[in-house]
Amino acid sequence: MEGIDLGNAFAQSLSGLGVPADVARALWLPLPMIVILLTVTVGVIAAVWGERKWSGMMQQRWGPTIIGLGGSIQGAADGVKLLIKEDIIPIKADPWLFTLGPAIVIIPVFFSYLVIPFGQGLVLSDITIGIFFIIAVASISPIGALMAGYASNNKYALLGGLRAAAQSISYEIPLALSVLAIVMMSSSLSTVDIVEQQETLGLFSFFSWNIWRQPIGFVIFLISALAETERAPFDLPEAESELVAGHHTEYTGMKFALFYLSEYANLILASLIASVLFLGGWSFIVPLEPLAALFGIEAANPVFQVVNALVGISVTILKATFFVFLAILARWTLPRVRIDQLLDLGWKFLLPVSLFNLLLTAALVLLSNTLKTTLPLYLPLVIFVGLVFVAMSLQKRPAAKPTAARA
């Protein structure tokens, strides 16, 4: 089944108007970039609004209420405020690195959005190394944070930058390993292929979502992604109670806004990747194409294609919203871990477990290829449920009043 090639469609429609093909191609080039910039910014504003509103609900307060409907464009107003704020470069800071830092933090995030599919063919560039590209590009960001921390000439900022670097390096490995297990099952690095591989069971594609085949990888991915995006409880680089604001202590105005933007853009990106890798991307609980086939609607039907694309986009966004919500819930519930606990968790727990998961997946993929059935791939689910069950039964029931027990 062919997806919609947006670029070609655009070029063809322009050449229909008498524009030369090369010019049409050139005109197409900036469009995806603008689309990305706009979508990400709007997404960030929505995420900030969601975070403020949800945290407000959790803390028995209102959150923003005045600007826009229910304070919905508070984020935009804040952005405008930051844009017109005076840009201060501390006199003892290194002006070049200080300016470069936020840019290096944010640009990779925007790059990563290039390969996120929102639907069949609704991806800006379906490069064959999609998910590898994201991981490769994402590891540039900590350099920016380190740069900003170092250039600020501020001890808190330096500590924050160092923490950011240490944290990113530690959690990239389990993250990459858990993604690698998925890649192994899909035998493709392309994000589109990974989603399509999760639609293989026809009407029951819900059960071919990778979350059922890779529950261990899913948990590892969630924890590592939370750490990679430097969100609480892993927000050590900007731990307010220790480092004031970490590597962006000295930043104001637009440069600060870039850090802020990158934090939320990163969060949304991680949520999108999680939904692409584990929750079947754009596919609905019951995939629309087999459903349409049941009712005798052809896949090539233009109305169906439009509906399918719209459902795909909405479903992707909904799934991502779910992960964003999870991150916000964790942020406002959990205390922060300590730096050594964070590194221990990364190196001593997540890394071995993700290696084990990788080996297990490799063995099971081999087995299922030999047996010509996908059933062995569900073995990790059995293991995972078993482990959770054992852990829960081993855990001591917390006393009704723990203090009374200790006293």
Give residues in contact with other proteins (CB under 8 A): 55, 58-61, 155-156, 159, 232-233, 235-236, 239-242, 244, 332-341, 398, 401-404, 406-407
CB of 36 to other proteins, least distance (A): 32
CB of 242 to other proteins, least distance (A): 5
Residue with tokens 């059995």: 382
Q: Which two tokens stand for residue 391?
A: 């852990």
Torsion of CA 53, 59, 60, 63, to 10 degrees: -30
250 φ, ψ (degrees, to nearest 5):
-90, 0
CB-nearer residue toward other proteins: 163 or 213: 163
Q: How many CB atoms lie within 10 A of CB 226?
A: 22
The amino acid that residue 51 corresponds to is: E
CB of 243 to other proteins, least distance (A): 8
CB-nearer residue toward other proteins: 172 or 235: 235
Q: Are 337 and 233 in contact (CB under 8 A)?
A: yes
Torsion of CA 259, 264, 268, 273, to 10 degrees: 40
Q: What one-character DSSP code corresponds to residue 123?
A: -
CB-nearer residue toward other proteins: 159 or 317: 159
Cα 134 → chain centroid: 10
| DSSP characters over 32-82 | HHHHHHHHHHHHHHHHHHHHHHHHHHHTTS----SSSGGGTTHHHHHHHHH
Rounded to whole angstroms, the Cα distance separating 240 from 242 reads: 5
CB-nearer residue toward other proteins: 159 or 183: 159
CB of 275 to other proteins, least distance (A): 26
CB-nearer residue toward other proteins: 47 or 232: 232
CB of 407 to other proteins, least distance (A): 6
CB of 58 to other proteins, least distance (A): 6
CB-nearer residue toward other proteins: 30 or 398: 398
CB-nearer residue toward other proteins: 239 or 288: 239
Classify each residue of 343-357 as buried b or exposed e, where b means 16 or more C-beta atoms within 10 Å of its C-beta. bebbeeebbebbeeb
CB of 47 to other proteins, least distance (A): 18
